[in-house]
Amino acid sequence: MEIIPLYGKTGIIETPITTVGIYRLSRDQAVLIDSGDYPRPELPELLEREGLAVRAVICTHLHPDHISNNPALVERYGAEIFAHEAERDSAKAIFDMLESMGQYPQWTKIRPMYPITWLSGGQEEVTVDGAPFRIIQTPGHSFGHIAVVTPDGVCCLGDAMMSVPRVRQAKLPYMEDADQAIESMERIRETQYPFYVTAHKGATPLEALELMVDENVRVELELYDRFLRMMDHPRSEEEAIRDFLVETGTWKGDGQVSWFVSHSAETQLMSLIRAGELKWHDGMVYAARQMSRA
Ligand SMILES: [Zn+2]
């Protein structure tokens, strides 16, 4: 593990699953944007080698793969943890679910039990020892998702978007609200920062932002489309979700389904119901077109 310099005092650290942002506040203090996937001793060891203490972690959201090293950083450095207030309930629901399903045991151990400084709904900036970090509201992937811009102007997107290679491979990106996610992506399209760090994964220069937004939006719209095309006959909600998982290749039709994956299909279904493209009738889900024909 190493700190890869990116722009000014901002760098990135590649953990196996996610990319973490790091901003050097001073010679011996840093702010992290997210803290990585599974709890890893390599991260505190790296900071030790670099002579850096972590003053704060600004979390783009509270999904387990972004906050796994928070407990160690709080304990070791007394790091202040920031997150958007709308993440409080989202995170509780996810950790409750993971615990009850017994999936991802390494993650259930890192449920946030430390103090968190909550950012309010419209908050546009967080200052850490005089250094201003701009906050851009990017709900969708999770309800309180934020992008964090370091004082150098590096925009850390968390899971608001994926890098182009990653999103092209993604079968069913996780979204709490896909419509909001698309709006957030379009909000990012309007910005002009030298670099955009995606948690999955790496950094994208401004010149390639347009393509990244296009690809992320395209993947979401195609999923809506596939769901609707699949609904050639009425199904129960459970059946519709199951069939969509098979349709997207995220489930083979037998064995355990990851909660994140089935929840992604469920939120897709709910978005289509909100948009009036799918309708409920007698406990079944129909394509609105079929209902009008019937
Ligand atoms: Zn996430």
How far is the centre of ligand 1, averaged over its atoms, from the C-alpha of 142 (Å)? 7
How far is the centre of ligand 1, averaged over its atoms, from the C-alpha of 192 (Å)? 24
How far is the centre of ligand 1, averaged over its atoms, from the C-alpha of 158 (Å)? 7
**Is 90 exceeded by the pLDDT of residue 81?**
yes
**Is 80 exceeded by the pLDDT of residue 291?**
no
**Is 90 exceeded by the pLDDT of residue 289?**
no
Lowest mean pLDDT among 2-6, 54-58, 260-264: 260-264
pLDDT computed for residue 293 by the predictor: 54
Which pairs count as long-range contacts for 39-42, CB under 8 Å and 24+ apart, including other chains? 39/68, 39/69, 39/71, 39/72, 39/106, 39/109, 39/110, 40/1, 40/15, 40/68, 40/69, 42/1, 42/15
CB of 68 within 8 A of CB of 37?
A: yes
Domain boundaries, the chain: 3-220, 232-293
How far is the centre of ligand 1, averaged over its atoms, from the C-alpha of 120 (Å)? 20
**Is 60 exceeded by the pLDDT of residue 294?**
no
pLDDT tens for each residue of 214-256: 999 999 999 999 999 999 999 999 999 999 999 999 998 888 8
How far is the centre of ligand 1, averaged over its atoms, from the C-alpha of 233 (Å)? 33
How far is the centre of ligand 1, averaged over its atoms, from the C-alpha of 175 (Å)? 8
Q: In angstroms, rounded to a whole number, what is the distance separating the alpha carbons of residues 136 and 153? A: 12
pLDDT band at 163 (very low <50, low <70, confident <90, very high): very high
Q: Domain 3-220, what fold? A: Metallo-beta-lactamase; Chain A (3.60.15)
How far is the centre of ligand 1, averaged over its atoms, from the C-alpha of 200 (Å)? 9
How far is the centre of ligand 1, averaged over its atoms, from the C-alpha of 177 (Å)? 12
**Is 70 exceeded by the pLDDT of residue 183?**
yes
How far is the centre of ligand 1, averaged over its atoms, from the C-alpha of 64 (Å)? 8
